[in-house]
Amino acid sequence: MTRQPIGAAEEARALLDALGVPAAALSGGDRIARTPVTGEEIARPVETSPADAVLGIDRAHRAFLAWRNVPAPRRGELVRLFGEELRAAKADLGRLVTLEAGKITSEGLGEVQEMIDICDFAAGLSRQLYGLTLATERPDHRMMETWHPLGVVGVISAFNFPVAVWAWNAALAFVCGDSVVWKPSEKTPLTALAVQALFERAAARFGPDAPPDLSVLLLGGAEVGEVLVDHPRVPLVSATGSTAMGRKVAPRLAARFARALLELGGNNAAILTPSADLDLAIRAVAFAAMGTAGQRCTTLRRLFVHEAVYDEVVARLRAVYARVTVGDPREDGVLVGPLIDPAARSAMSAALGE
């Protein structure tokens, strides 16, 4: 007998259970988490109120006060253990990225691999946090440079890279002695819950040197992000998202002399001249324009083609697009999955119309 494949929502719930997300975190909320693959409801995760967000940041600050005193190589051990948890859960977490964000399978797995890679890098970095020893004019004296951790590092991530962006920031922050407060996109809360569960597994294996609330997760919309941006105990905020979001975040951080790491939307272009290697260029253009359904900051949006090669380039691109399979990102051979939600579809339609 042939077993019928389970639905996208049912599969996502099974993955969340396997990854250690408690059932209580997936119900009782007002915002519906859907899979863009079928539009089915997966869960209604409980969101964080602004008041609770403040309390969460305060808890993370207390964790930082303890964590900064743990030797850096020991901090690197926690990140190494987290990398082990990610390796063991790569297939499940990558599949959940596909189901919640709509990425094709290779993209979902690739994103988790990027998390593993940054853990490897950060674990090695934990033994390389050097400071200079400087000569001084005073006899029998020397000057020593020592770098201190910042404190609570805020991370605001976007739906199109729902887990890797957090890991890039968090792995480095942890080895440097900082705690992390994460506000994921309200469009992808479930992968964030899964990552938090995996980190807590690693922390439990690490032992009592890892204080509670070293990683704090805040689920919610812009109002929760504003709390993170404005809180005086968050000296650095790394925010990934639209340029509109960046224009709001940067002045508010500057007003309180906090630091900003902004990775915002792009308007990327390629220029093809008569000397271009068209075989290579066509592949690069197609991947840059269609990868992750064109929903990433590095997506190609503009193509400038010299008139001498224009006709050939257009004809070859038409042929490439005609062969691309758009559909369920879980299926073999599908290269373009769904847009994240109806708003993204409307924005795309408006852009095409314009």
Query: Mind listing the domains of the chain with CATH numbers?
Result: 50-129+148-264 (3.40.605.10), 268-353 (3.40.309.10)
Per the residue annotation, which of 297, 307, 312, 331 is the catalytic one?
297
H or E segment to which residue 354 belongs? none
pTM as predicted: 0.93
Provide the pLDDT for residue 351.
Answer: 87
Provide the pLDDT for residue 6.
Answer: 66
What is the number of residues in the chain?
A: 354
Task: Give the span between the Cα atoms of 205 and 196, in whole angstroms.
Answer: 14
How does pLDDT run across 235-275, given as a tens digit for each residue? 999 999 999 999 999 999 999 999 999 999 888 999 999 99
Pairing of β 179-183 and β 152-156: parallel
Q: Which of 289, 295, 263 is nearest to 188 (CA)?
A: 295
Q: Which of 69, 53, 49, 48 is nearest to 234 (CA)?
A: 53
Task: Give the span between the Cα atoms of 231 and 54, in whole angstroms.
Answer: 8
Task: Give the span between the Cα atoms of 200 and 277, in whole angstroms.
Answer: 49
263 is catalytic: yes
Per the residue annotation, which of 84, 114, 263, 331 is the catalytic one?
263
3-state helix, strand, coil in the chain (%, to 5): 50, 15, 35
Q: CA torsion angle for 278, 282, 284, 287 (degrees, to 10)?
A: -170
Report how far Cα 184 is from the mean position of its chain's Cα atoms: 8
Residue type, 132: L
119 is catalytic: no
Cβ-proximal residues to 196 (8 Å cutoff; 6+ apart), any chain: 182, 215, 217
What are the residues facing 179 on neighbouring strands? 152
Task: Give the span between the Cα atoms of 51 and 114, in whole angstroms.
Answer: 33
Stretches in the chain below the pLDDT threshold 70: 1-6
Distances (CA, A) of 240 to 18, 157, 211, 290: 28, 5, 27, 20
How does pLDDT run across 276-324, given as a tens digit for each residue? 999 999 999 999 999 888 898 889 999 999 999 999 999 999 999 999 9
